[in-house]
Amino acid sequence: MKITILDDWFDTLRNLPCFTKLEGLDVTVWTDHVQETDTLAERLQNTDILVLFRERTKITSALLDRLPNLKVISQRGVYPHVDVEACTRNGVLLCSKQPKGGAPNFAAAELTWGLIIAAMRQIPQQMASTKQGKWQIGVGKTLHGRTLGLYGYGRIAKVVSHYAEAFGMKVVWWSSLAGRDRALQDGKTVAKNREAFFSESDVVSVHLRLKPETKGIITRDDLMGMRKDAVFVNTSRAGLIEPGALLDALNAGTPGTAAIDVFDTEPLTDADDPLLRHPNLICTPHIGFVTEDEFDHQFTDIFDQIVAYLNGSPMHMINPEALNV
């Protein structure tokens, strides 16, 4: 069986403990990123098992139709980037563990908090000014006593709330109706309505999964309802925001600052992109989950799926009917 891993940009996986699970197997690791169907089809022509690195590469019907040897795709989490119907039609089994319960993604929560501090204390701007010999350039804001609005009542948001409480911030929640009900049952403070959530928070941080029902859930009106001195943070997915809304809101000055880890196009390498160039944007290149610890945790699950398949007991099957094609 030939195994191919895509998008391991820094060739990290080979040096992690979990990689020993593939010992003795024929493994190829690609450390660049391509999306062109012709190039991918050529690279994967002899691949039996494909390993995906989150949602970095889209697996389309046009690509799957050109991979006669492919039997399994192993990944973890949601799979909006994979054409499941085309997988089934081509007899390709998609295995993807859906994390439920257990430990949250601490890496993402920690980066969220780093972006909040960076935005509120102007760390990137102050650093750039200092390196240029200009010393201080403005006055930041203290977190203690301010309000953090968390959109989404899930595991990562709950970790971020603990950080906020340790810094003396007030935490206010918003979510789906079911999420708000759970928050209230847990004794949390829920905003009186959606408008109040956005307008009264000093910082709004979004922690939702990107699904059809959450796509574009953060609207232009939501963002423009924030204060001019507020900060909007997104370390989840860019698709949660209405297309073009964040740039429009920053241009309007409400919110005053955005701190994000995710973009509509990734990797984003256009230095002239208007959002990327905006002076009130603080950003990182989708590194919320990019730590050695988180990689080892996630790819342990992914490689376990491969071992299970090779042992004749596939698990975490999204389309088991593909086995009968």
Provide the edge-to-edge strand list for the sheet that holds 231-234: 170-174, 147-151, 203-206, 231-234, 257-260, 281-283
Q: Which of 56, 227, 266, 294 is catalytic?
A: 266
Report the first-to-last Cα separation within the chain, whole angstroms.
Answer: 19
Active site residue 36: no
Residue 310 exposure: Cα atoms within 13 Å on the Cβ side: 17
Q: Which of 207, 286, 297, 316 is catalytic?
A: 286
Q: Which of 237, 242, 297, 316 is catalytic?
A: 237
Active site residue 266: yes
Active site residue 237: yes
- The residues assigned a catalytic role are 237, 266, 286
